[in-house]
């Protein structure tokens, strides 16, 4: 197989592989540029929801515990 035929076969297989993808991609900008240059269709992921929150200094003698109910790395209820 010639180099040109191998390249064409590779690009065809890459383009066909995108048709089965149902999820979103989590790639860098450079990755997406390369993927687009190969002619592969892709779906951008949604940007994160950014929520404003404020932390207030507790009154004297009060201990303030902030929690989002997360328990990273610990199984079971937090």
What is the biggest distance separating any 2 CA atoms in the chain, rounded to whole angstroms? 79
Q: Provide the residue range defining the domain that includes 4.
A: 1-55
Residue 70's pLDDT is: 67
* Assigned domain for 21 exists: yes
- Over its length of 78 residues, how does the chain's per-residue pLDDT go in tens digits? 788 888 788 777 766 665 555 666 667 778 778 878 877 777 777 788 888 888 788 899 998 887 776 666 666 665
* Assigned domain for 26 exists: yes
* Assigned domain for 13 exists: yes
* Assigned domain for 67 exists: no
CA distances in angstroms from 46 to 17, 22, 23, 41, 78, listed in the order given: 22, 14, 12, 16, 28
Residue 76's pLDDT is: 67
* Assigned domain for 78 exists: no
* Assigned domain for 65 exists: no
Number of separate domains in the chain: 1
Residue 8's pLDDT is: 80
């Amino acid at each position: 197989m010639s180099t040109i035929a191998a390249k064409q076969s590779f690009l065809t297989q890459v383009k066909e592989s995108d048709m089965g993808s149902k999820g979103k991609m989590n790639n860098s900008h450079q990755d997406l540029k390369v993927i687009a240059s190969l002619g592969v269709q892709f779906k951008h992921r949604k940007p994160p929801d950014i929520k404003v929150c404020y932390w207030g200094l507790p009154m004297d003698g009060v201990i303030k515990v902030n929690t989002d109910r997360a328990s990273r790395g610990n199984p079971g209820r937090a």
